[in-house]
A and B are shown apart, each in its own frame.
Chain A
Amino acid sequence: MTKLIIKLTVNGREREVETTPSTRLLDLIRDDLHLTGTKEGCGKGECGACTVIMNGKLVASCLVLAPQADGAVITTIEGVGDDKCLDPVQEAFIETGAVQCGFCTPGMILAAKKLLEENSHPTEEEIKRGISGNLCRCTGYQKIIDAIKLAADRLSRRDSGKSEEDA
């Protein structure tokens, strides 16, 4: 198999990786970069467990060839929040009980973050459409939807400088 070197920025850090033309971005992230928060579910782009943000867009990393990500800027779940402080979306997921087995959670959180970035006050229908590429087999989705609503409320209050008590 031909080897090639690709450069990409993952979670703010520039990486150079040796890979092959037919390696999936998903495998590069998990096996070469050892970022195992990104999961493999179906491997066909239908479950969303492998979701990452690539060049500002939500993508299924199982349907991207590693060399297609050459030069790309990628955010995986490890790049959301930091060691000291969780992202408001992550906090909301914990508080509302939107995490059960946890397998869909990394993809779900990235989908939710992307949705709220583009639409800070989504309706329930818009939330459902925003996470329509992510399957969850535990929660029945309601708690995930509640979590995204809660995160939306908090983020908009934070942006308008009000605390929760003021509301």
Chain B
Amino acid sequence: MEGSFRDLEKCQKTYQKTTPSQYFAPQKIEKALEILSNYGEEIKIISGGTDVLVQYYDRLYEVNNWLDLKNILELQKIRISKNQMEIGATITHSQLEKSEDIKKYFPVLSQAAADIGSPQIRNRGTIGGNIVNASPAGDLLPPLMAYNAQFKLLSTKGEMIVPAGEFFIGPKKTILEPAQLLTEIILPLPSKRTFGCWTKIGKRKALIIATITLALVVEMAEDNKTIKDVRTCLGSVAPTPIEIKDIREKMIGKNFNQLDFNQLGQIVEDKILPINDIRGTREYRKDVAKEIMINSLEEVYSSWWRSYR
């Protein structure tokens, strides 16, 4: 609010825990960073609110002050510059799902966005929120890792670019500092010979927290026969979204006809560390991980074959 915004400086001087709560909705990133550096842990960043408010109503934490990102237009852009795509942190899941550029370059991310929640949730929830919420089951996280995403973190002290794989450190835990704001997701544009597959397993189609997810992305070399790179990223099978790196050495440099899909599925089963919870047992997740890996490899293989012929 502009009114409360003008009071900011006065507020900073007299601020104590007993101070009435404040709501800020600045238009500039710089202003948001300034507010964040002043309030630190005493302010909660909100955008779509689809995770923050559920946790707030359950009183998982007390909120004294809100920093709403809704007026920062800079965070609402999808841009392609040179060899990369830059996605603003408050791009919603609906926008990700419908964006022609994202469908073209990052279909696995687009499909994962389409599987989130419901129309109501997809219209409000954002990519940045899904990332900073850092649920092990966050649907966008395995695709982002599989496409080698990097996150741009800003604070009044400067800029940090972090690979997705180094951002998550535990369930709902990240390296993000209270004074930092995730502003942008940077994705290198994949070559035309890149093929991917998205799988989400849950008890129903809508509004379900994933029991297990898999984003498989395979890039072929110039000859379109040899596998140049592969990323096998899973959600809900470890404290953070993870990549099974052992798959790389088994696949890179090989042709599809040299691969044993069953063995690759077994590697995924062996390498994940799922827990027992209401969404599925450890054993169930391990069995399913193997099966969805095999199915994804078959899917990727047939998309490659269609393009090769």
Chain A residues proximal to chain B, CB less than 8 Å = 1-2, 4-6, 20-22, 24, 43-46, 48, 51, 57-60, 62-65, 67-68, 70, 111, 114, 129-130, 132-134
- Minimum-distance CB pairs A-B, first 4: A133-B118, A132-B206, A21-B23, A2-B20
The answer to whether A45 and B121 touch (CB under 8 A), given A63-B49, A63-B54, A68-B49, is yes
Q: Is B39 positioned at the interface, with any CB of A under 8 Å from its CB?
A: no
The digit string for B1-12, where 1 denotes a CB below 8 A from any CB of A, is 101100000000
Q: Which residues of B contact A6 (CB under 8 A)?
A: 1
Contact residues of B: prevailing secondary structure = mixed
The digit string for B35-52, where 1 denotes a CB below 8 A from any CB of A, is 000000000001011100
Q: Which residues of B contact A58 (CB under 8 A)?
A: 119-120, 123
A134 CB to nearest chain B CB (Å): 8
The answer on a CB contact under 8 Å between A130 and B66 is no
Q: Is B288 positioned at the interface, with any CB of A under 8 Å from its CB?
A: no
Q: Which residues of A contact B20 (CB under 8 A)?
A: 1-2
The answer on a CB contact under 8 Å between B120 and A45 is yes
The answer on a CB contact under 8 Å between B46 and A57 is no
Neighbour of A2 across the interface among B21, B48, B57, CB < 8 A:
B21
Contact residues of A: prevailing secondary structure = mixed
Bound CA span A44–B209, Å: 13
The answer to whether A1 and B121 touch (CB under 8 A), given A22-B66, A65-B66, is no
Q: Is B202 positioned at the interface, with any CB of A under 8 Å from its CB?
A: no
The answer on a CB contact under 8 Å between A44 and B49 is no
Interface centre among B23, B54, B56 (most CB of A within 10 A): B23
The answer on a CB contact under 8 Å between A4 and B121 is no
The answer on a CB contact under 8 Å between A65 and B22 is no
Bound CA span A62–B20, Å: 22
Closest to A61 in B: B120
B19 CB to nearest chain A CB (Å): 9
A94 CB to nearest chain B CB (Å): 24
Q: Which residues of B contact A24 (CB under 8 A)?
A: 53
Q: Which residues of B contact A21 (CB under 8 A)?
A: 21-23, 65-66
Bound CA span A93–B254, Å: 58
Q: Is B269 positioned at the interface, with any CB of A under 8 Å from its CB?
A: no
Bound CA span A62–B54, Å: 9
B201 CB to nearest chain A CB (Å): 17
Q: Which residues of B contact A22 (CB under 8 A)?
A: 21, 56, 63, 66
Q: Is B178 positioned at the interface, with any CB of A under 8 Å from its CB?
A: no
The digit string for B122-143, where 1 denotes a CB below 8 A from any CB of A, is 0110000000000000000000
Closest to B58 in A: A44
The answer to whether A4 and B120 touch (CB under 8 A), given A64-B49, A67-B23, A67-B25, is no
Bound CA span A48–B123, Å: 13
Bound CA span A53–B46, Å: 20
A119 CB to nearest chain B CB (Å): 12
The answer to whether A70 and B1 touch (CB under 8 A), given A21-B22, A51-B120, is yes
Neighbour of A65 across the interface among B50, B68, B123, CB < 8 A:
B68
Q: Which residues of A contact B117 (CB under 8 A)?
A: 45, 133
Neighbour of A63 across the interface among B21, B50, B205, CB < 8 A:
B50
Neighbour of B1 across the interface among A4, A44, A114, A134, CB < 8 A:
A4
- 17 new A-B contacts, CB < 8 A, other than A22-B63, A58-B123, are A2-B4, A21-B21, A21-B23, A21-B66, A43-B57, A45-B50, A45-B118, A46-B118, A57-B124, A63-B50, A65-B46, A65-B49, A67-B66, A111-B119, A132-B119, A133-B121, A134-B118
The answer on a CB contact under 8 Å between A2 and B22 is yes
Q: Which residues of A contact B205 (CB under 8 A)?
A: 132
A22 CB to nearest chain B CB (Å): 6
The answer on a CB contact under 8 Å between B123 and A4 is no
The answer on a CB contact under 8 Å between A60 and B120 is yes
A to B CB contacts below 8 Å, 21 in the list:
A1-B20, A2-B21, A2-B22, A2-B23, A4-B3, A4-B23, A6-B1, A24-B53, A45-B50, A46-B118, A48-B118, A57-B123, A63-B50, A63-B120, A63-B121, A65-B68, A67-B25, A114-B119, A130-B119, A133-B207, A134-B118
